[in-house]
Structure 1
Amino acid sequence: MKAFGKILGLGLLGLLLIIVALGFALTHLFDPNDYKDEIRQLARDKAHVELTLNGDIGWSLFPWLGLELHDASIATLNAPKSPFADLQMLGLSVRVLPLLRREVQMSDVRVEGLNLILTRDEQGHGNWEDFGKPLPASAEGKTPAPGDTQGTENSDQRSGTASADRPVKLDIDSLTVNNARVQYTDARSGVSYNAESIQLSTGAVHEGASIPLKASAFISASQPNIKARTELAGELRLDRALKRYSFEDMRLSGETSGEPTGGKTVTFAAQGQLLLDQAANVASWNGLKLSANQLRALGELNLRELDKTPQLSGGLSIAQFDLRTFLDGIGHPLPATQDPAAFGKLELVTRLQGTPASIALEDLSVKLDSSTLTGRVAIEDFARQALRLQLKGDSFDADRYLPAKSEEAKGATAARKAQVQQQEASAVAGAGSTPLPDAPTQGAWSTDKLLPVDRLRALDLQADLSFGSLTLDKLPIGNARLTANGQGGLLTLQTLRGDLYNGTFEAKGTVDVRPAVPQLGVNTRIQRVPVEHFIKTDDKNKTPPVKGLLTLSSDLTATGNSQKALVDTLNGTANFTINDGVLVNANLEQQLCQAIATLNRKSLSGEPRGKDTPFQELRGSVVIRNGVASNPDLKVRIPGLTVNGHGDVDLRVLGMDYNVGVIVEGDQRAMPDPACQVNERYVGVEVPLRCRGPLELGAKACRLDKDGMGKVAAKLAGNRLKDKIDEKLDEKLGDKVSPELKDALKGLFKR
């Protein structure tokens, strides 16, 4: 028995030596380079590819089946002269015995200088789509026999089923790819993409185990022109049986530049845990960290129903950053705003929901500069730009974010301001002895473009905004509410309302950008709001010319896309009332006393007392035609006075030209100025005033109408003559004639 075991051992040793000797003989005496043509033909027949072997083939047989290919390329049978892949060297080795168990155990796999060229022709056909496909039967001069196709399909199905039942098990010590390149070109769209200097290295590749991975590449695109350097690292885990794939501790970083960033370089990075579960049709990105220049974001993303319409959910938090600096750094600078510090601070927290066609920021909390807004922002359809806004804010100063004035607009404003100051310096409100100010000629409005017409035409908008305090055109609107919608180029302001200086404000309107020239319409309702807040200037030291509580209703239309164009085409009607008001720095009583003294042919002996003229009510209606507002029925109630007026306000230059008639009672003080006393013949006489000049001057632009005063004096002289005749008739006739005859005689002198 012992001798038998010895003989068996020697036999096995001899067999092993024979196998080793055969392997040595095959690998050293048999040269595969001598059979390149047979190998190429085998590739055509079995793999249906065109294999070109320009370099040497190196190989080993046992216990590793090793292979090295140098300077090789591969093409489809349809285009054998146009290889879509070539490489400088491919080196790999496989253990022989595990192959019998459908297990692939490899040592290190190395790929050097891989060049993959993918093209899509004018008809949309990709050169890779024919890879592994045989030539059509007609091309080979063969006609498949009936049933052959079906048999082939059944055979393929059987082999496919067998393959599915017995998946190949992968076991690779490492994979290394150096200096690879992938190029994609679409002839129909003209777009091309390139990935160059691709470096890829992995640790051991085992099913169900973490695979360390590192990769880097330079990526470029033609439309738009963009370049990027990228680096990727992490641990890849594959479980094909469970259809579960994960990328743990993923770290992507790099930098990019090109047309989308205005030529500026943007540094970016991303981290997190990626998971794809095809069995459950879900994917996730947990521990998400994103950065782009100074922007930093945290969150998580989840996708479900991958086999249907994918549904996105998750959360996102962006730390405070300077939005203006960030956008400038990625080549999309914000336009200059009235406040240069606007958009300096932005941070947000939100919950995400979306589909391939939409995205919604739910439970949104945004801090923008000194404002906090909460609510919802959504794009319900990317193709239609369907924007939905539901936001509530504590306070928001909209003026800070309006476009800054251009240099041209600033120059026009400065020129008009200088003209007004010059006229104001010469306008003395006292006795009114100076000439009337000239009518202003400088335009008061900017020609800067107001509306982004192209964007508004494509916008589909529904907005519902509310603010505890909203500053708009320097007016603080409390409890403000704004609702608006827009579609197809027609924007409708359903309402903008709120509290304003203890009064109320409401506006409705439309903006129609469908025509070449935008058309605007607006209705406003103002209830008991201090009027001085509407007419104050940028000069804080300058007092508004009139004060009081304004009640206004208006219905206006205009066309154009600048302040000047809108004012030049402004048309409509308005009704206004100002209660409990004051004409500031305008001693109207003094000017009226001057008029009475002129009629009395006397001079005022006292000095002007008050600077202002209070009034109980000022009201009227306005018809506006092409920027000129006509007011035919101005009425002012002043204690002791009745004021009527009519005239125009040229909104284009903010100038006025009014004729005002004042019926006075005279100096009602206990010790009146003797020159300003009203006797009976002045009762009911209307003293004419003329007001002309910049609107900012208010009543300081009013003077006695000398021509009108002459007519009043003539009328008073006639009345005085009549009174003297009546006195003489009474003296002469006495009681000698009847009263009826006496009145008839007096009537003769009236004619």
Structure 2
Amino acid sequence: MKAFGKILGLVLLGLLLIIVALGFALSHLFDPNDYKDEIRQIARDKAHIELTLNGDIGWSLFPWLGLELHDASVATLAQPTQPFADLQMLGLSVRVLPLLRKEVQMSDVRVEGLNLRLNRDKDGHGNWQDIGKPAPVAATTQTPATAETTPASKPDSVSQPLKLDIDSLTVNNARVEYNDEQNGKQFSAESIQLSTGPIHEATSTPVKLTAFLGTNQPVMRVKTEVDGKLRFDRVLKRYQFDDMKVVGEASGEPLQGKTMTFAAQGQILVDLAANIAEWSGLKISANQMRALGELKVNELDKTPQISGGLSIAQLDLAKFLDSIGHPLPNMAPGSLSKVEVVTRLSGTPNSMAFDELNLKVDDSTFTGRIAVEDFAKQALRIQLKGDTFNADRYMPAKSEQASGATAARKAEVQSSEAGALAASGDTPLPDAPTKSGWSTAKIIPVTRLKALDLQADISFGQLTLTQLPIQNAVLKAVSKDGLLTLQNLSGNLYKGNFAANGSLDVRPMLPMAALQTRITDVPVDKILQSQGQKPPVTGLLTLNSNVTGSGDSQSALIQSLNGTASFVLNDGVLLNANIEQQLCKGISVLNRKPLTSAPQGKDPPFKELKGSLVFRNGVASNPDLIVRIPGMSVKGDGDIDLRVLGMDYRIGIVIEGDTRAMPDPACQVGKNFVGIELPLRCRGPLELGAKACRLDKDGLGKVAAKMAGNKISEKLEEKLGDKVSPELKNALKGLFNR
């Protein structure tokens, strides 16, 4: 037995030496370059590709089946003269004996200068779709006999996948190019460098990839590097990328000349058997932004459904957006300097929703939901509830044009006010204002509104807007195809309330605006003070209005203002009014007595001030102004020119029987003054209010003539008594009262 074993060992050793000798002889005596044509034909017949070998073929046989291809290209049989791939060198070697067990054991695999060109033609056909397909042949008529003799294909037996065992894979200076002739889009990945550690089934493989990516629609350039550990199980269809790190820089048209540095980390799992993908331990940074979260995608075989969570650390949003080429519209300095987000995510490849949103903006907190229902249509849906929000802190400084107009008008008002306060009302009427305080700068973003698809429902516990503290504010608006509809804007203001609705249509050449407003018991002086104006009157305002306008600036909208309004002011005061001065002066004239001292002005209170307005191209006509002041009634008829914020009124004051002594004997009211209407004329800047009123001397002359007629009539009555008929008495009285 020992001799047999020794002989058997010698035989096996001899066979091994013979195999090694044959491998050496084949690899040194057999040159595969002599068989390039045969290799090309095998590639056509078996792989259905057109293989071009311009360089040498190097090879070894045993124990490694080694192969090196130089300067080779591959094309489809449908387009054999248009290679879709070429390379400078491909080097690999495979152990021979494991191949018999369907195991692939390779040493280092090296690819140099790979250039892959993928193209989709105008008909939507991709050149990669022909890879591995036989060459097209002319259709021939098959005889029934031939068809009958064709053997039926048998289903392939279930085969086990090859087991991979590769020491490493290296790809140097590779390039991939994709071109779509249907839409003109191009994509490229250049200077691709790929290196891996040992590749085995169900084993973590270190992977490192660098590349330069580019697109033409839009023009973008991205430098990126990917590092991590890849683990795969082809039987379970399960792929993992652990400890993944992605870093890079991006630039191009969307960034408006700016550069964005980005990084991402986490663990990625793709389970094709369960049709799910997960990204856990997600960390993302882009310039100043830092975010944490997790993502999960279900139904990979259908329309993928995205879910997860996201937390964005506090950042200066204004600086971040500016750093990526998307600066905010002109806002006050320091706006959006502290923004923080925590939310749940859900969506599809074409939509995204941020549910359970907790958004902190500077000193305000919002909760609710923000969603983009369609990325292509920019369909934005907002449902938010805020605690407090001061909108004024975000308003930019007025433009030079607007500031100049405001300053010019302010100077005009101050000049008129100084004249109105001088000489206790003896000065002439203030001139009608001519300076407009309205800006001609464009305030309507027409282009953005035309593209906006919006549904917004926002509420605030407290909203500060143009210095007005609004409680329980609600804003509901819808915008689509250039039509913005304000469904509701309401809230509580100084123990009163307001509500408004309207629309803004930017589809015409000039934007068209419509607004309906309802204000109830709101202090009018508070509103005027919030706008930086000195209120001429106080009181609780109730207003109903329905107005329209057109244009894209304050000035244009005011000049085109049309509509109607009605208003009531209750329990108010005419501030710094000189009505008592004017009345005293008028009565002294009628009494024909000189004033012994200048009457002191005061703030006359009123029970009610009401009227209606008709707007025509920026001018409001008010034919029925009524003011109820204790002891007298006031009626007015005039216009308010909103274009220059000026007024022109004729006022009639009727003394209703208050015969109490005035401080000056010349101002004493006798019975002859009861029912007499004293005329005033009010003209000047609207801000002056009653300070712009003067005694109407022409009208006062008519009153004096009427009173003189009344006295003559009284004397006639005394003298005639019952001596003449009543008809004659009335005729004589009428003669003197004309």
Which category of TM-score, normalised to the shorter sequence, fits these structures? Answer: over 0.9
With over 3 angstroms needed to count, the CA separation of the structure-2 counterparts of 1:624 and 1:184, relative to structure 1, is same
Instruction: Look up the match of 1:715.
Output: 706
- Contact 1:197-1:218 at 8 Å conserved across structures: yes
Shift of the alpha carbon at 1:146? 6.9
With over 3 angstroms needed to count, the CA separation of the structure-2 counterparts of 1:600 and 1:171, relative to structure 1, is same
Tell me, yes or no, if structure 1 residue 64 matches structure 2 residue 64: yes
With over 3 angstroms needed to count, the CA separation of the structure-2 counterparts of 1:150 and 1:30, relative to structure 1, is farther
With over 3 angstroms needed to count, the CA separation of the structure-2 counterparts of 1:222 and 1:559, relative to structure 1, is same
Instruction: Look up the match of 1:43.
Output: 43
- Contact 2:373-2:379 at 8 Å conserved across structures: yes
- Return 287-296 or 392-401, whichever deviates more: 392-401
1:365 alignment partner, SS class: strand
TM-score by length of 1: 0.93
Shift of the alpha carbon at 1:694? 1.1
With over 3 angstroms needed to count, the CA separation of the structure-2 counterparts of 1:146 and 1:212, relative to structure 1, is farther
With over 3 angstroms needed to count, the CA separation of the structure-2 counterparts of 1:270 and 1:392, relative to structure 1, is same
1:595 alignment partner, SS class: helix
Q: 1:88-120 CA deviation, whole Å, 9 max, x = no partner?
A: 111110000000011100001111111111222
Q: Identify the match of residue 464 of structure 2 among 464, 468, 471.
A: 471
1:390 alignment partner, SS class: strand
With over 3 angstroms needed to count, the CA separation of the structure-2 counterparts of 1:749 and 1:548, relative to structure 1, is closer
Q: Identify the match of residue 375 of structure 1 among 362, 368, 383.
A: 368
Tell me, yes or no, if structure 1 residue 274 matches structure 2 residue 268: yes
Which whole-Å CA distance do the structure 1 matches of 2:148 and 2:654 have between them? Answer: 112
- Contact 2:657-2:671 at 8 Å conserved across structures: no
Instruction: Look up the match of 2:209.
Output: 215
- Map residues 550-629 of structure 1 onto 2, 5 A cutoff: 550-629=541-620
Instruction: Look up the match of 1:657.
Output: 648
Structure 2: unaligned runs, 5 residues or longer = none
2:425 alignment partner, SS class: coil
1:4 alignment partner, SS class: helix
- Contact 1:289-1:298 at 8 Å conserved across structures: yes
Shift of the alpha carbon at 1:750? 3.2
Which whole-Å CA distance do the structure 2 matches of 1:275 and 1:150 have between them? Answer: 50
Q: Identify the match of residue 240 of structure 1 among 217, 234, 237.
A: 234
Instruction: Look up the match of 1:81.
Output: 81
Which whole-Å CA distance do the structure 1 matches of 2:345 and 2:145 have between them? Answer: 55
Shift of the alpha carbon at 1:599? 2.7
- Contact 1:722-1:749 at 8 Å conserved across structures: yes
Q: 1:35-72 CA deviation, whole Å, 9 max, x = no partner?
A: 22221222122111111112111111000001111111
Instruction: Look up the match of 1:92.
Output: 92
1:427 alignment partner, SS class: helix
- Contact 2:467-2:530 at 8 Å conserved across structures: no
Which whole-Å CA distance do the structure 2 matches of 1:220 and 1:671 have between them? Answer: 91
- Map residues 17-56 of structure 1 onto 2, 5 A cutoff: 17-56=17-56
Which whole-Å CA distance do the structure 1 matches of 2:199 and 2:330 have between them? Answer: 55
With over 3 angstroms needed to count, the CA separation of the structure-2 counterparts of 1:430 and 1:667, relative to structure 1, is farther
What letter matches 1:184 in structure 2? Y
Instruction: Look up the match of 1:683.
Output: 674
Instruction: Look up the match of 2:128.
Output: 128
Instruction: Look up the match of 1:109.
Output: 109
With over 3 angstroms needed to count, the CA separation of the structure-2 counterparts of 1:515 and 1:51, relative to structure 1, is same
Which whole-Å CA distance do the structure 1 matches of 2:711 and 2:510 have between them? Answer: 63
Which whole-Å CA distance do the structure 1 matches of 2:363 and 2:659 have between them? Answer: 55
- Contact 2:466-2:531 at 8 Å conserved across structures: no
Tell me, yes or no, if structure 1 residue 738 matches structure 2 residue 729: no
What letter matches 2:461 in structure 1? G
1:431 alignment partner, SS class: helix
With over 3 angstroms needed to count, the CA separation of the structure-2 counterparts of 1:143 and 1:603, relative to structure 1, is same
- Contact 1:323-1:344 at 8 Å conserved across structures: yes
- Contact 1:596-1:666 at 8 Å conserved across structures: no
Tell me, yes or no, if structure 1 residue 193 matches structure 2 residue 160: no
What letter matches 1:703 in structure 2? R
What letter matches 2:178 in structure 1? Y
With over 3 angstroms needed to count, the CA separation of the structure-2 counterparts of 1:666 and 1:250, relative to structure 1, is same
Shift of the alpha carbon at 1:223? 1.3
Q: Identify the match of residue 296 of structure 1 among 277, 290, 299.
A: 290
What letter matches 2:78 in structure 1? N
TM-score by length of 2: 0.94
Shift of the alpha carbon at 1:336? 0.5
Which whole-Å CA distance do the structure 1 matches of 2:651 and 2:215 have between them? Answer: 74
- Contact 2:659-2:670 at 8 Å conserved across structures: no
Shift of the alpha carbon at 1:618? 0.7
With over 3 angstroms needed to count, the CA separation of the structure-2 counterparts of 1:154 and 1:223, relative to structure 1, is farther
Shift of the alpha carbon at 1:178? 0.8
Which whole-Å CA distance do the structure 1 matches of 2:86 and 2:42 have between them? Answer: 19
1:656 alignment partner, SS class: strand
- Contact 1:344-1:369 at 8 Å conserved across structures: yes
With over 3 angstroms needed to count, the CA separation of the structure-2 counterparts of 1:263 and 1:384, relative to structure 1, is closer
Shift of the alpha carbon at 1:482? 2.4
Instruction: Look up the match of 1:11.
Output: 11
Shift of the alpha carbon at 1:154? 6.2
- Return 233-242 or 658-667, whichever deviates more: 658-667
Which whole-Å CA distance do the structure 2 matches of 1:340 and 1:294 have between them? Answer: 18
What letter matches 1:551 in structure 2? T
Q: 1:617-671 CA deviation, whole Å, 9 max, x = no partner?
A: 1111111122111111111111222111010001111111100111237997766
Shift of the alpha carbon at 1:713? 2.3
Shift of the alpha carbon at 1:740? 5.5
Percent sequence identity is 66
Aligned residues: 735
Which whole-Å CA distance do the structure 2 matches of 1:178 and 1:738 have between them? Answer: 132
Q: Identify the match of residue 418 of structure 2 among 425, 432, 441.
A: 425
Q: 1:285-313 CA deviation, whole Å, 9 max, x = no partner?
A: 11111111101111111111222222211
Q: Identify the match of residue 444 of structure 2 among 448, 451, 454.
A: 451
Instruction: Look up the match of 1:548.
Output: 539
With over 3 angstroms needed to count, the CA separation of the structure-2 counterparts of 1:310 and 1:176, relative to structure 1, is same
With over 3 angstroms needed to count, the CA separation of the structure-2 counterparts of 1:49 and 1:450, relative to structure 1, is same
Q: 1:182-214 CA deviation, whole Å, 9 max, x = no partner?
A: 111222322211111111000110011111100
What letter matches 1:72 in structure 2? A
- Contact 1:429-1:587 at 8 Å conserved across structures: no
Q: Identify the match of residue 320 of structure 1 among 314, 319, 322.
A: 314
Shift of the alpha carbon at 1:725? 4.4
2:577 alignment partner, SS class: coil
Shift of the alpha carbon at 1:281? 1.2
Instruction: Look up the match of 1:507.
Output: 500
Which whole-Å CA distance do the structure 2 matches of 1:742 and 1:237 have between them? Answer: 122
What letter matches 2:287 in structure 1? N
What letter matches 1:673 in structure 2? D
- Map residues 499-538 of structure 1 onto 2, 5 A cutoff: 499-536=492-529, 538=531
1:165 alignment partner, SS class: coil
Instruction: Look up the match of 1:734.
Output: none
What letter matches 2:693 in structure 1? C
Shift of the alpha carbon at 1:145? 7.6
Instruction: Look up the match of 1:750.
Output: 734
With over 3 angstroms needed to count, the CA separation of the structure-2 counterparts of 1:193 and 1:375, relative to structure 1, is same
Q: Identify the match of residue 628 of structure 2 among 630, 633, 637.
A: 637
Which whole-Å CA distance do the structure 2 matches of 1:143 and 1:251 have between them? Answer: 59
Instruction: Look up the match of 2:281.
Output: 287
With over 3 angstroms needed to count, the CA separation of the structure-2 counterparts of 1:121 and 1:32, relative to structure 1, is same
Structure 1: unaligned runs, 5 residues or longer = 731-736
- Contact 1:137-1:144 at 8 Å conserved across structures: no
Which whole-Å CA distance do the structure 2 matches of 1:347 and 1:390 have between them? Answer: 18
Q: 1:422-453 CA deviation, whole Å, 9 max, x = no partner?
A: 22222226621111111112223223333333
Which whole-Å CA distance do the structure 2 matches of 1:746 and 1:185 have between them? Answer: 106
What letter matches 1:568 in structure 2? Q
With over 3 angstroms needed to count, the CA separation of the structure-2 counterparts of 1:146 and 1:14, relative to structure 1, is farther
